Every structure is written in structure tokens, then in C-alpha cells.
Amino acid sequence: MKKYITTPIYYPNGDPHIGHAYTTVMCDILRRAWKARNDEVIFTTGTDEHGQKMQEAAEAAGLSFEEFADRQSARFRELADLLNASPDFFIRTSMEEHKKVVHEWLSSAHEKGILVKKKYKGLYCVGCEQFKKESDLDQRGFCTDHQKAPVEMEEENYFLPLEPHRQWLLKYIEDNPEWIQPESYKTEVLNMLAEPLEDLSISRPKSRVSCGVEFPFDSEQVVYVWYDALINYVTSLKILGADFDSYWANSVHVIGKDIIKPHCIFWPIMLRSFGLPPASRTFIHGFFLGEGHVKMSKSIGNVIDPFETIAEFGTDALRFYFAHNAAIAKDSLITKDLLASSYSVLANNFGNLYLRTFKMLEKYNNAEIPDAPQSEENKKILLGLHRIVGRVGDIRDLSDIQTLATDILRLSSEMNGYIDAAKPWALAKDETKLDELMQVLNVLGQGIKYLAEAARPIMPDTAEKIIKSFETKEPVVLFPKREY
Ligand code: MSP
């Protein structure tokens, strides 16, 4: 089956955040799991380089948009590489091909006569790049995501009316219960759709925001950053020359809870206006919070930097942390201590199991997994272990990833317990028990290989190293000891 999976395209107005790393890794795990079952998967990520936020950041850095966007976008690409996430395409909205697709959409909407030009007065949050209603703000009148008061703005914009599509969207959600996952976020969308929808302003006067795609039929206006950004999901497939309909029919957007409205309200309506169906799934996840269960910030000192984290713990340990520890439907904590303790569990449980197994195979059977006829009891154990490899093929959504990570640790512990109970070192001392020793070594060798295969989408390098070490007969250090 052809499948398409996307991360949001990130604002490169600052450096990449641990949250960006998280979404990218989750997509890459899904991509690898689906590829393992022979799906043809296209995975895209990229950077969202327009809008007021980018304009202000480029000005503050004293650079032109182009220089600033080149420098910052490269940081995001570097992070994807360091995370061992392998996108088939890294889109930048500054690409000419993308601008062409945006023009095509706008011209089509204009020709159909569905756009309205009018004066608008409202409260704008630059952080969200969205107009806000009073009811979106907290008691102080601040944006809840950005903890800042939005600014009042009055200007003439083009608008896409959303209200004519509200009943259709409600019906679509009802008819497609799997479109938005998990359920708790679907409720949020239904609440947003409980009241009439305001028209979506899709342009900005160039005099105020120059960093954007120029309107094809009005040179005084640039395209609103969200309208332009959402279309990236279509542009990427076009640039890749992929069979659009087949991939779009099985397309998955993975997003954080902060951008539900653009993805679950603006985007399906934009697609409908263009004559396309919504992407088939939207997987939403909660946020990672820093020490103190609050948003990470430099002033609080609870920021977890993805580059530093990779340097300290390694890519696979971070990928495993994401897979195992994120709560998905809720926010989750990420701190240095939590990362360190997750690393210890991984090293002492899974890493140790591998090392113990390898050392015993080395000592008692020339580093080879013996081909021993198995007892009924061992056959059952092996069958149980083998089942976890099949579980990779069952991965459908983000929560399945967590189940797999949990099972890998559980089975590693059980196998460590199996070694303690079977005592291969004692069997080796008794000549009459050598057959039994070979059976135990067979269970351990095969078992760790099954676990490595199951762990491959989450920890691709670690899995590869384990499998290779049995070919080269050289043990590898998976999770080196760390100084605390
Ligand atoms: N540019 C828009 C998205 C356009 S998609 C058509 C944008 N960019 S962003 O840089 O702000 O990235 C938001 C996304 O980054 C979130 O939806 C989420 O995927 C990820 N995260 C950023 N911080 C996060 C956490 N603290 N925790 C988890 N993920 C979060 O919005």
C-alpha cells in the first residue's frame, strides 16, 4: 500500500526545539514500521519560512529573509539527520515550485469566486500567526500558548468563508471516526465547530508583512502564512512526482496539539474548496513540558536542547525515550533526570541482555548461535519472543509505538530473568548438561535477534549493530556508561 506521512513544517525563526525533534522521530518510526511491512511510504518534513514571525526574526538577526531562512532551515535539516529520520523530501516554503502551487490554489479559488475582499479588525497573535477571538484568550487577555497580549489590527484582506462548510465538516468527522486521533482532541475540534466559523483571512498587506508569497492577482497582498504552509503537503508530493491520488488516499499528518485548528478546520475546508478530500488521518500529540511541568523557557532554565541531548545520550536513546515516555493524549515531562533514568533502564535491561547473551555465546560456542533442537517449553518461549517482531507490522498510530517500546523492555526483563533461572554458567560445568546449555544459548541468541528486529523502527542503529555483531562475531557497546 502507498502511504504518506508528514510532520508539520517548522518555523525556523529560532533553533529547533525538543518538541520538533519529537514529532519528527514519531513520523520516522511510523515510516520505518510501515516500510518493514512492505508499504511504499513517503515521509516529508521541512520549514515554514514566511509570515510576520520570520520577518521579525530575520530583522532582529540583521539578515535578509533569504540568508536567515537558509541558515535556520539548515539547522532543522541537520537535526533530522542527527535523529536518523530520513525524510524523502525536505520542503521549504521559499521554494519556487511551492509558490507555483500556492498560486494555482489561489487562482482557482479566485476564479470560482469564493474569496471575499473586505476590511477586518481583530486581535492578532504573532506567535500563533492567527487572529484570536476574546474567548481564545485568558483572563488577562493573553494568548494561552504564547503568554502575550495579541495586538489589535485593522486591514483589508482576502477571506475564505469557512461557515458554508461547517455542517459538511461535522458530518465528515462523524462519518470518519478515525480521522482525528486520539478521541480527546476530536472533542476539541467538535467544540470549535459548535459555533459559526468566522471567515479565514488569507492575505496580509505587503506594506506590513513582506515575507510571504505574493498574491497572484493582487500585488499589494501576500499570502497568509498558514494558507501557504498547509499547501506544503500537496507541493511535496508534486515535487516528488508521486502518484498523488494513491498517496493522498492514505495520508497521515502528525501534529502537536497547538495546531489543531489549522489542520482540522482550515485545511479540510481549503482542500474541499480545491476539490480534494481531507488527508486520511490526523494524529495529534500533547506537548513536552520542562522541569516544573511548565513550558520550557530559557529564563526558567528548563530547556532540553535536542542537539545537546543527542550529544549526551545518543540518537537511539532519545528516540527510545520519545517512543516510551510520551503520553500522546496528554502533556508529558522531559527533564535531564528523566532522560538519564530512561537511559539507565535501557542500558541495564536491553543493553545488558545483549551483552550477557553475546558474552556467553562467545565463551561457550565460539560466538555462534547454536542450532539446537528445542524442548517444548523453550519453543513456547521462542514463539512468545517471535511474536513481538510481528507487532511491528501492527503499528497503526502513535500509541502502538508506545506499546511496542514497553513490550521490548518487558521482554528484555523476562529474558534477563530466564538467564538467571537457567544459569548457563552452571550448565557449562556439567558435561551431561551440554545439550541443555545449547538450547538455552539458542533461545537467548534468537531472542535477542527478535528483540533487535522489533526495536528496529525505534532504534535503527542499535538494531543494525546487534544483528551485524552476530555476523562479525565482534560484540558492540550499545549504551556506553555515562558519568552523572
Ligand atoms: N509552522 C507551523 C506549522 C505549519 S504545518 C503546515 C508551526 N511551526 S512550529 O515550529 O511552531 O512547530 C509546531 C510543532 O512543533 C508542533 O505542532 C509539534 O509538532 C512540535 N512541537 C513544538 N514544541 C513542542 C513541544 N514542547 N512538545 C511537543 N511537540 C511540540 O506551528
Catalytic residue among 3, 99, 125, 186: 125
In this prediction, residue 134 carries a pLDDT of 86
Q: How confident is the model at residue 57 (pLDDT cuts 50, 70, 90)?
A: very high
Locate 325 and state its grid cell: 515516555
Res 297 pLDDT > 80: no
> Active-site residue among 103, 206, 238, 295?
295
Q: What per-residue confidence (pLDDT) applies to 130? A: 85
Would you state the pLDDT for residue 444?
A: 97
Share of the chain above pLDDT 70, in %: 100
> Considering 128, 186, 253, 264, which one is annotated as catalytic?
128
Segment 397-402 shows an average pLDDT of 96
Atom of ligand 1 nearest to the CA of 23: 19
pLDDT band at 246 (very low <50, low <70, confident <90, very high): very high
Q: Across the strands, what pairs with 119?
A: 156
The answer to whether residue 128 is catalytic is yes
Reply yes or no on whether 27 is catalytic: no
Instruction: Provide mean pLDDT across the span 152-168.
Output: 95
- pLDDT bracket for residue 120 (50, 70, 90): confident
- Residue to mutate (ligand 1; options 15, 22, 227; most atoms within 8 A of CB): 22
What's the grid cell of residue 200?
Answer: 479565514
Instruction: Give the pLDDT of residue 469.
Output: 97
Check pLDDT > 80 for residue 298.
no
Q: Would the CB of 21 count as within 6 Å of ligand 1?
A: no
pLDDT score for 484 = 59
Q: Is the CB of 458 under 6 A from ligand 1?
A: no
- For the chain, the average pLDDT equals 95
Which pLDDT score, from 0 to 100, does residue 229 have? 98
Nearest CA to 281 out of 1, 2, 3, 14 is that of: 3
Backbone angles phi, psi at 220, to 5 degrees: -85, -10
Distance from Cα 391 to the centre of ligand 1, integer Å: 29
Q: Catalogue the long-range contacts made by 127-132 (C-beta closer than 8 Å, 24 or more residues apart).
A: 127/53, 128/258, 129/51, 129/52, 129/53, 129/224, 129/225, 129/226, 130/226, 130/261, 130/262, 131/198, 131/201
Check if 146 is active-site. yes
Residue bearing cell 494561552: 144
Which residue in 287, 329, 297, 274 sits closest to 111, CA to CA? 274
Flag whether pLDDT at 410 surpasses 90.
Answer: yes
State phi, psi for 104 to the nearest 5 degrees: -60, -45
The number of the ligand 1 atom at minimal distance from the alpha carbon of 12 is: 10
pLDDT in tens, 336-371: 999 999 999 999 999 999 999 999 999 999 999 999
Retrieve residue 58's grid coordinates.
530575520
**pTM > 0.85: yes or no:** yes
Can you tell me which residue has the cell 519529537? 22
Tens digits of residue pLDDT in 416-475 = 999 999 999 999 999 999 999 999 999 999 999 999 999 999 999 999 999 999 999 999
Range of lowest pLDDT (202-206, 240-244, 339-343): 202-206
Cβ–ligand 1 distance for 11 under 6 Å, the answer: yes
pLDDT tens across 18-36, in order? 999 999 999 999 999 999 9
**Catalytic site includes residue 143:** yes
Ligand 1 centroid distance, CA of 375 (Å): 52
* CB 312 near ligand 1, within 6 Å: no
| Residue 75 confidence (pLDDT) above 70 | yes
Ligand 1 center to 54 CA (angstroms) = 15
**Strand 200-201 and strand 214-215: pairing?**
unpaired
- Mutation to probe ligand 1, out of 258, 293, 325, 398 (largest number of atoms < 8 A from CB): 258
**Arithmetic mean of pLDDT, 147-170:** 94
Phi-psi region of 252 (alpha: psi -120 to 50; beta: other; left: phi over 0): beta
Atom from ligand 1 closest to the CA of residue 10 = 10
At residue 391, the pLDDT reads: 93
Q: With a 6 A CB cut-off, is 20 part of the ligand 1 pocket?
A: yes
Task: For residue 366, report the distance from its CA to the centre of ligand 1, in Å.
Answer: 50
- Give residue 80 CA to ligand 1 midpoint distance, Å: 14
The predicted-structure confidence for 32-48, as pLDDT tens digits, reads as follows 999 999 999 999 999 99
- pLDDT at site 135: 85
Q: What is the mean pLDDT of residues 312-325?
A: 97
Check whether 295 has a pLDDT greater than 90. no
Residue 177 CA to ligand 1 center (angstroms) comes to: 24
* Substitution site in 5, 7, 13, 17 for ligand 1 pocket (most atoms within 8 Å of beta carbon): 17
Closest protein CA for atom 13 of ligand 1: 10
Q: Is 165 a catalytic residue?
A: no
Active site residue 20: yes
pLDDT value at residue 348: 96
Contact 263 CB / ligand 1 (< 6 Å): no
The verdict on whether 125 is a catalytic residue reads yes
Atom in ligand 1 nearest the alpha carbon of residue 229 = 6
pLDDT above 80: residue 198: yes
User: Is the pLDDT confidence value at 185 over 80?
Assistant: yes
Q: Is the peptide bond before 475 cis (omega within 30 degrees of 0)?
A: no
